[in-house]
């Protein structure tokens, strides 16, 4: 607080000096070019030094710089152009807390919306052909095929598990349909050492890193093999060994957490960054503001990826913010940002690679806004046809599909065929159905898991509660599900 007071005291003195000038008419007026006439020297002082002395502005007084230099303003002194009257007011700059600012005599408000929106970086056109002069990071055949088959796997997993919820076999599900390029291509651009803090629509990142279909299914069915010990709703995956933070439903809470995680990487001088994801809705949260601000000030190596898919449940982006999307917000925090076509796997891959590089070598945050479309409903608790036109959904599902767009590029390179495609899809589908069967039949987690991990060691009151619960179950076994081990 003392620093702030020091600054404001300085500012107050500066302002008093200004006001002092304003009060004195004509020749003392700040706006009046005659003001700096050395003949009109004033003897009024504010701090005992020649503070308020207009003559001191001419730089003749040796006390000028001494009195005007405030401890907390690090950016140097005020320089006065001695030929002020000739060069004009426009060339002047002034020190304020936070740095040196030039003046303008034009009262101009910055427009709330640009004439042109920030353009979107893109590599592939809709026919899967690289756009002329586009710069992008080359992807090998092996990498491309892994990316493509992962996108297909993700889509299939989403379709089948969504159906499982519809059939009542799991309680909840949410899909990433339409956002497969973001999921897979960003993951492909990272190393396994980069720490990922997801929102909840990024299971593809975990899939890329090696989480199996069985592991996904186990979590959805909340069985004994679930790494989450059956404690969370479906799709709340998490895996330390894959450097993927456990999903937490609350929106945008991962944003400030990402800064902390990145700061620890910075302290340990690791060759890694943190990547955190959120949707367009998440940018309205207070945590978005606090997180980005902290990241910038603390120079944390975090890559912020915003999946701007146009919808936050039923809230369209036009009702979410009035800025030019999310990319412009980065600048407000002093963060380098880019807008990318989120349905173009190569653009996503290249931008993420570049962002990661910058974040690590320059130790600072980067913001990437990926434009895409949420083809599926928000979740199984939602029916989006209630608030948006069916043909809009259809259009994005087909004509703007990121998987088929990437497929076209892969095809043109001669790396894939229809036969490969159908084999892949049949295979994945079979694996999934098998995984679901196994997951469904598996035992649920034991009752002791209700009480562990609240604290590192089990406290006495929870021991007691567990005992009470077991007694209760013994007394009323009919009120207790038979498939849950005691």
Partner 1 sequence: MLGIVRGRVARGGVNASMTVRDALNSALDEEMSADPKVFVMGEEVGEYQGAYKISKGLLEKYGPERVVDTPITEAIDHIINSAAKSNYMSAGQISVPIVFRGPNGAAAGVGAQHSQCYAAWFGACPGLKVLAPYSSEDARGLLKAAIRDPDPVVFLENELLYGESFPVSAEVLDSSFCLPIGKAKIEREGKDVTITAFSKMVGYALKAAEILAKEGISAEVINLRSIRPLDRSSINASVRKTNRLITVEEGFPQHGVGAEICACVVEESFEYLDAPVERIAGADVPMPYAANLEREWPSHRVQHSFVYTNVKVERSKITFLLF
Binding site for partner 1 (CB under 8 A): 1-3, 226-229, 231-232, 236, 238-240, 245-246, 248, 250, 253, 256-257, 267, 286-287, 290, 293-294, 297-298, 449, 452-456, 459-461
Nearest distance in Å: CB 455, partner 1 = 5
Of the candidates 171, 249, 417, 472, the residue annotated as catalytic is 249
Nearest distance in Å: CB 160, partner 1 = 25
Alpha carbon distances (Å) from 433 to 8, 156, 367, 421: 66, 11, 38, 18
- Measured CA to CA, the distance from residue 463 to residue 394 in angstroms comes to 54
Q: Is 133 a catalytic residue?
A: no
- Closest CB to partner 1 among residues 399, 463: 463
- Closest CB to partner 1 among residues 73, 160: 73
Q: Is 392 a catalytic residue?
A: no
Of the candidates 236, 242, 377, 378, the residue annotated as catalytic is 378
- Closest CB to partner 1 among residues 338, 367: 367
Q: Is 378 a catalytic residue?
A: yes
- Closest CB to partner 1 among residues 214, 248: 248
| Ramachandran category for residue 5: left, alpha or beta (phi over 0 → left; psi -120 to 50 → alpha) | alpha
Positive/negative CA dihedral, 123, 129, 134, 135: positive
Of the candidates 18, 143, 163, 471, the residue annotated as catalytic is 163
Nearest distance in Å: CB 151, partner 1 = 27
On the 0-12 / 13-18 / 19+ scale of CB atoms within 10 A, 96 is: middle
Nearest distance in Å: CB 89, partner 1 = 34
For tokens 């694996």, what's the residue? Answer: 431
- Closest CB to partner 1 among residues 130, 260: 260
Give CA 189 to chain center in angstroms. 16
Nearest distance in Å: CB 240, partner 1 = 5
Of the candidates 10, 56, 149, 379, the residue annotated as catalytic is 379
Longest dimension (CA), the chain: 101
- Closest CB to partner 1 among residues 141, 241: 241
Nearest distance in Å: CB 197, partner 1 = 10
Nearest distance in Å: CB 308, partner 1 = 24
Q: Which tokens sit at 364?
A: 């600072």
Q: Is 155 a catalytic residue?
A: no
- Closest CB to partner 1 among residues 159, 248: 248
State the catalytic residues: 163, 249, 378-379
């Amino acid at each position: 607080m003392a620093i702030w007071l020091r600054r404001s005291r300085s500012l107050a003195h500066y302002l008093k000096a200004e006001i002092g000038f304003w009060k004195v008419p004509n020749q003392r007026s700040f706006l009046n070019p005659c003001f700096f006439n050395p003949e009109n020297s004033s003897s009024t002082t504010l701090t005992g030094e020649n503070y308020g002395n207009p003559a001191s502005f001419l730089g003749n007084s040796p006390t000028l710089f001494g009195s005007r230099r405030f401890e907390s303003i690090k950016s140097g002194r005020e320089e006065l152009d001695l030929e002020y009257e000739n060069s004009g007011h426009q060339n002047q700059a002034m020190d304020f807390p936070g740095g040196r600012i030039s003046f303008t005599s034009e009262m101009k408000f910055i427009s709330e919306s640009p004439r042109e929106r920030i353009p979107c970086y893109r590599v592939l056109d809709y026919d899967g052909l690289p756009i002329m002069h586009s710069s992008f990071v080359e992807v090998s055949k092996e990498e491309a095929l892994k990316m493509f088959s992962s996108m297909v796997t993700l889509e299939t997993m989403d379709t089948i598990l969504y159906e499982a919820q519809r059939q009542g076999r799991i309680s909840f599900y949410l899909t990433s349909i339409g956002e497969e390029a973001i999921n897979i291509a960003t993951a492909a651009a990272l190393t396994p050492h980069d720490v990922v803090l997801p929102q909840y629509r990024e299971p593809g990142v975990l899939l890329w890193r090696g989480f199996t279909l069985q592991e996904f299914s186990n979590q959805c069915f909340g069985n004994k093999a679930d790494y989450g010990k059956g404690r969370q709703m479906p799709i709340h995956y998490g895996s330390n060994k894959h450097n993927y933070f456990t999903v937490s439903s609350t929106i945008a809470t991962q944003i400030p957490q990402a800064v902390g995680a990145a700061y620890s990487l910075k302290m340990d001088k690791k060759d890694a960054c943190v990547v955190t994801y959120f949707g367009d809705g998440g940018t309205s949260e207070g945590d978005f503001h606090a997180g980005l601000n902290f990241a910038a000030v603390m120079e944390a190596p975090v890559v912020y990826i915003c999946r701007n898919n146009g919808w936050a449940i039923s809230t369209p982006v036009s009702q979410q913010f009035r800025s030019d999307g999310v990319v412009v917000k980065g600048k407000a925090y002093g963060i380098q940002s880019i807008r990318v076509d989120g349905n173009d796997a190569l653009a996503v891959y290249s931008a993420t690679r570049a962002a990661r590089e910058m974040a690590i070598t320059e130790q600072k945050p980067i913001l990437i806004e990926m434009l895409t479309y949420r083809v599926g409903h928000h979740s199984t608790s939602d029916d989006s046809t209630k608030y948006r036109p069916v043909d809009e959904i259809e259009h994005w599902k087909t004509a703007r599909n990121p998987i088929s767009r990437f497929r076209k590029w892969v095809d043109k390179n001669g790396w894939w065929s229809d036969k490969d495609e159908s084999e892949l899809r049949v295979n994945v589908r079979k694996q999934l159905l098998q995984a679901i069967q196994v997951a469904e039949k598996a035992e649920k987690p034991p009752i002791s898991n209700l009480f562990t991990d609240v604290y590192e060691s089990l406290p006495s009151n929870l021991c007691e509660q567990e005992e009470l619960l077991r007694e209760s179950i013994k007394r009323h076994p009919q009120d207790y599900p038979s498939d849950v081990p005691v």
